[in-house]
Each structure stands twice: as C-alpha cells, then as structure tokens.
Amino acid sequence: MPQVPPHHQRKLKKTLAAPSILPEHNKVSRPDWLENVVGLVIYAIVGFVGVSQLKRLGLDPAVYGLILTSWTGVATLIAFAVAVRLRIRSLSAFGVRSTSGRWLLIGVGIGVVAFVLKGLAILAWIKVSGDTNNIQDVYADGGRGGLLSLVLGTVFIAVFSPFGEELLYRGIVTNALLRYGPFVGVVGSTVIFALMHGINNTFPAAVVADLATGEVFRRSGLIWPGLVVDVVFNLPSFLIMVFTSTG
C-alpha cells in the first residue's frame, strides 16, 4: 500500500478535525418566528403610531407628504435593525449578499410586468368595490413642493422605502415562512404585506408587488432583485401621481 506523504497527512488531520455544519446550526441560519413577530410589531409601532402623531402637527401639505414618502423606509429599517440583532446578526442570512447582473435584469423585467398587472388589478378592484379614493394621493403633495421636493420624494418612494420593505418583508417575513414551503412563504408574506396596507385601493397593488418580489426572493435568496422590481414598480407610479393628482 502506498505511503501518504507527511504533509498530506497533516492536511487530512486538519480536515477531519474541522467542525462540521450541524443541523442545529442550520436551524438558526435563517430568521424564524422570533424575528418575524418582533420585526412586524416594531414596524407597526413606528409606522402607524408615528404617522398618527405626524397628523397632529399641522404641517404644510408638501412637508407632510414628503415625510410620509420616507416613513415606510424609516419604520421598516428600524424594525429590521432590531430583528437582525436578536439572534442571527449575519446580514447574509437575510438575503443581503452580492448578486449578479442577470438577476438584476430579471428584476427589471418582472418589475415592468408587475407594473402593468398592478394597473389591471386596481381597475378590477374599482369595478368590484366602486371605491375610487386613492389614499396615497397624499404622497403626491410631497412631490409638488419644488424640484428638491420632487427629487427627494422620488428617491424615498422608489428606492429608500422599497429597500426597507425588502429587508423586512422579504429578508425576514418571506424568508422565515419559506421554512414551511414555497406557497406559505410567498403567499403568506403577500397576505401580511397587503393587509399592512389596509383594505383600500392600495391592497391589489400590494398583492401584485409582493407576489412578484416574494417569488423572486424565493428563487434567488437575495433582496436585491426584489428591490429592482420595487423600483421599477414604484417609480412611474409616483411620478404619475405627482403630475396628474389634483390634490
């Protein structure tokens, strides 16, 4: 039998002595109910309580609208920051890892399709419910306060808030529910996301958006493609509101 060279023997011993990845480790390698519940509770407190307090200040409509365009981003980022510090603390476990140009292009394509489907879904909602009131028109006020206001409102709606939503709803909620299979992960997180928007004209848009971003997250395991979907989804919607709303 051939002799193993001494330096190969040392490498073999190191390999055998290296710690293995145990099932117990895998159980905490992604968020679960703890991060899910805490994240959503913190979001509800910061988001809804914060908005209710802002209403009492009697702010100028443009200022109030601009603050609201950023508030979802503020609330979701705070909620994510608290949840990520509970147990895992590794951002990669929440889908914050490098991606490829291919996935970003896929995000653009899905975002365009989702934008079209959103319009059809809202029309169907109005046809069935008869409700034509768009509660998000207040965001348009934030974009009509001048050029700087328009730029900031666009960034807040199209990039900042979607970034926070992807971290919280895909990085935590969808990620945690995917433990129970693709249907529960994608559809379950969609229901939660849509209900957080309320039963109104934004509900069908939220359903379309989260089905698209949830499925992209399920397949890629990353938040960045879903963020691209959100940017493509939100950017034209906000600009249309700003330039067509009569508020």
Would you place residue 50 in the very low, low, confident or very high pLDDT band (cuts 50, 70, 90)?
confident
Comparing 194-198, 203-207, 227-231, the range with the smallest average pLDDT is 194-198
Q: Please say whether the beta carbons of 201 and 126 come within 8 A.
A: yes
Would you place residue 4 in the very low, low, confident or very high pLDDT band (cuts 50, 70, 90)?
very low
Q: If you search the block for the tokens 């207040």, which residue do you land on?
A: 138
Specify which of 28-37, 50-59, 83-92, 170-179 reaches the highest per-range mean pLDDT.
170-179
Comparing 53-62, 103-112, 190-199, the range with the smallest average pLDDT is 53-62
- Between the CA of residue 164 and those of 8, 58, 88, 126, 171, what are the distances in Å? 49, 27, 18, 29, 10
Which amino acid is residue 37, in one-letter code? V
Would you place residue 142 in the very low, low, confident or very high pLDDT band (cuts 50, 70, 90)?
confident
Compute the mean pLDDT over every residue in the chain, rounded to the nearest whole number. 86
64-87 in b/e form (b: 16+ CB < 10 A) is bbbbbbbbbbbbbbbbbebbbeee
* Residue range 120-143: mean pLDDT, rounded: 85
Q: How far apart are CA 243 and CA 140, in angstroms?
A: 8
Q: How far apart are CA 118 and CA 238, in angstroms?
A: 13
Query: Looking at the predicted structure, is the pLDDT value of residue 215 above 60?
Result: yes
Would you place residue 25 in the very low, low, confident or very high pLDDT band (cuts 50, 70, 90)?
very low
* Of residues 219, 43, 245, 20, the one with CA closest to residue 133: 245
Listed in sequence order, the DSSP H helices in the chain are 6-17, 23-27, 33-44, 50-55, 61-84, 101-129, 137-143, 147-155, 161-165, 175-177, 182-196, 202-220, 224-244
pTM of the shown model: 0.84
231, with CB counted inside 10 A (0-12, 13-18, 19+), is middle
